[in-house]
Structure 1
């Protein structure tokens, strides 16, 4: 985790989930979990979501949001968006070498999936796209394993010291690719300082 300040434009349609102080938002979490008289499974949900938020913060996540976007076909697409800032391995160096090392390490452990290194007008970006799966809650003997479309954009700082990872996930695996441009625009908007703009400073 790093204290590197950044700015990034969050697309319209997302509602932020509070990350700063999980304890301070217990009322919100209780409301989501069903309140004081919650069923045991709601209490488990509350515990799980609290643990998840604490884990996100510990791993350098600066933003987490859920959103709904109306696609041209007329149906909404629901998704989750996170922005994480971490230290890059290797210290100051060319940001393209940082991304090249990421490609090499992910190739070695078979987590590269479909990846593209793109030179934007602001900085190089590594895009990784895949359709994965999540472990479902147990409802019956043979629960279906839902597919999840995931798109990640990794942006290195100019000195190669820091990385911003923008991660987009949706359970609509067939229509998720419609948001490629949105994530690409987000990646282009990343600035490794605090500019005087209306963007979200993280």
Structure 2
């Protein structure tokens, strides 16, 4: 985790999940029902644990979205923005991305990847279809999840911003490639005053 300030444009259509004090957040309480339910406490505990683990790992934003695609049907997705420090100190941001490709290739988590030079900075795009439950029992079938990630290094190579888009609609998820590309291009490191979400 890092204190590196960033700004990034969050697309319309996303509702942020509170990353701090989930239990007292009225929207979450309303979503699971205000009435007394025996599973309410365990649900809130599970959500709190999940959100705390996201924050510990550098997540600055998590949102759930619905977007109407040209076919007239909505696409539901989850979006996270995470900021982490890199290992090794200042260096060329392209070398940072190259090392990331090598390490993911070695451990089999790379997926389909492309290193792209945008008009603002280099970006590593990775997409794959994975399982919603990676540690499932033999014989069980978990739904497929389309995942698209854009990783943006800081100019000094000291920090990385990872934008992660996931949807259970594995066939139509590719329609959001431009949206994630635009987000990656909007990333700025350091304190700025912009109309974007400052994280």
Question: Does the alignment reach a TM-score above 0.5?
Answer: yes
Question: Is the partner of 1:92 in helix, strand or coil?
Answer: coil
Superposition map of 1:6-17 within 5 A: 6-17=6-17
Find the counterpart in structure 2 of residue 107 from structure 1.
Answer: 105
Superposition map of 1:62-73 within 5 A: 62-73=60-71
Distance in 2 between the 1:78 and 1:146 partners? 14
Structure 1: which 5+ runs fail to align? none
Note if 1:123 corresponds to 2:128: no
Question: Is the partner of 1:12 in helix, strand or coil?
Answer: coil
Q: CA deviation at 1:195?
A: 1.9
**Structure 1 stretch displaced more, 72-81 or 29-38:** 29-38
Distance in 1 between the 2:129 and 2:43 partners? 25
Find the counterpart in structure 2 of residue 50 from structure 1.
Answer: 48
Find the counterpart in structure 2 of residue 39 from structure 1.
Answer: 38
Q: CA deviation at 1:24?
A: 4.1
Superposed CA RMSD in Å reads: 1.8
Does the 8 Å contact 1:30/1:36 carry over to 2? no
Q: For residues 16 and 177 of structure 1, do their structure 2 counterparts lie closer, same or farther at Cα, with a shift above 3 Å needed?
A: same
Distance in 2 between the 1:58 and 1:21 partners? 14
Does the 8 Å contact 1:33/1:43 carry over to 2? no
Q: For residues 128 and 90 of structure 1, do their structure 2 counterparts lie closer, same or farther at Cα, with a shift above 3 Å needed?
A: same
- Aligned residue pairs total 196
Question: Is the partner of 1:91 in helix, strand or coil?
Answer: coil
Q: CA deviation at 1:197?
A: 1.4
Q: CA deviation at 1:189?
A: 0.2
Distance in 1 between the 2:117 and 2:24 partners? 41
Find the counterpart in structure 2 of residue 4 from structure 1.
Answer: 4
Note if 1:165 corresponds to 2:162: yes
Pick from 171, 182, 187: which aligns with 2:184?
Answer: 187
Find the counterpart in structure 1 of residue 29 from structure 2.
Answer: 30
Distance in 2 between the 1:9 and 1:98 partners? 23
Question: Is the partner of 2:148 in helix, strand or coil?
Answer: strand
Distance in 1 between the 2:94 and 2:140 partners? 43
Does the 8 Å contact 1:133/1:145 carry over to 2? yes
Find the counterpart in structure 2 of residue 61 from structure 1.
Answer: 59
Pick from 175, 188, 201: which aligns with 2:198?
Answer: 201
